[in-house]
Amino acid sequence: MVFADISMSVDGYVAGPNDGPANGLGDGGERLHDWMFATSGWRELHGIEGGTADQDSEIAAEMFANTGAIVMGRRMFTTGEGPWGDEPPFRMPVFVVTHTPREPVSKRGGTTFTFITGGVRAAVSAAREAAGERDVLVAGGGSAISQCIGEGLVDELRIHMVPVLLGGGVRLFGGGVSGELATDRVVATPAATHMRFTGVRSPA
C-alpha cells in the first residue's frame, strides 16, 4: 500500500514562504508540525523522551508503524538533509526524486538515501520493491505528493490539517490533479484535524 502523509494549513500550505536549506519549512512553516513534535509517538520514533500520549500521538506513530520505505521530493530532502544530521529519523530506505544524479548515501540508524532521476513512478516502484510487505510513505513535499496522486500511485492520502492560516508558501495542491476521494477516517483534536482519504488512485 502506498500512502501520502503531510501536515497542511487551513489555507492549503505545507511550507511557509521562503522555505529552503537556510530557512527550513519557511516562515511559520514549523508551526505545521507542532502537533507532531509534542507527541510521545513521534518522540519515541526519534529517540527523544517524553511527549504527550493522546490521539495525536497515536496518529503520529501510524506514520512509520508499518512503513518499509519512503519517497520524498528533492526539495524536502534538500531542506531536511542538514537538520536530520548523521542519524536521520527514518531508519529505512528513502528514495529521493531528483533531476541530479548522485551516489546513494547511508546514514547511521539504517536510513539510506537513494536518488532517483526517472520521476515519481520510478521512485515509488523502487520504494515498493524495498518495502516488501510493508507500506510505502510518500512523505512530501507538496509537489512530490501531488505528482504521485496525479500519476495514480497513491492508495491513501493522510492530511493533518492544522488550524492556522500561513498566508503563503508551498501549496500541497498547485492545481492540475483532479478526482473523487472517499473519506476513510477523520480524527479531530485541538492540535489538528487528521483526515484520511482513499480512492485517490483513479484521478479524472
Q: Find the binding residues for a copy of itself in span 163-192 (CB under 8 A).
A: 163-168, 171-173, 175-183, 186, 188-190
Could you tell me whether strands 67-73 and 13-15 are parallel, antiparallel, or unpaired per DSSP bridges? unpaired
Whether the CB-CB separation of 160 and 42 falls below 8 Å is answered with no
> In the chain, how long is the greatest CA-to-CA distance?
45
User: How far apart are the C-alpha atoms of 70 and 138, rounded to whole Å?
Assistant: 6
Binding mask 3-42 for a copy of itself (x = CB under 8 A): -------xxx---------------x--------------
Please provide residue 118's backbone torsions phi and psi, each rounded to the nearest 5 degrees: -95, 15
CB of 143 to a copy of itself, least distance (A): 13
Q: Which amino acid is at 170?
A: V
Closest to a copy of itself by CB, 128 or 171: 171
Q: Which residues bind a copy of itself (CB under 8 A)?
A: 10-12, 28, 149, 157, 159, 161, 163-168, 171-173, 175-183, 186, 188-190, 193, 195, 197, 199-200, 203-204
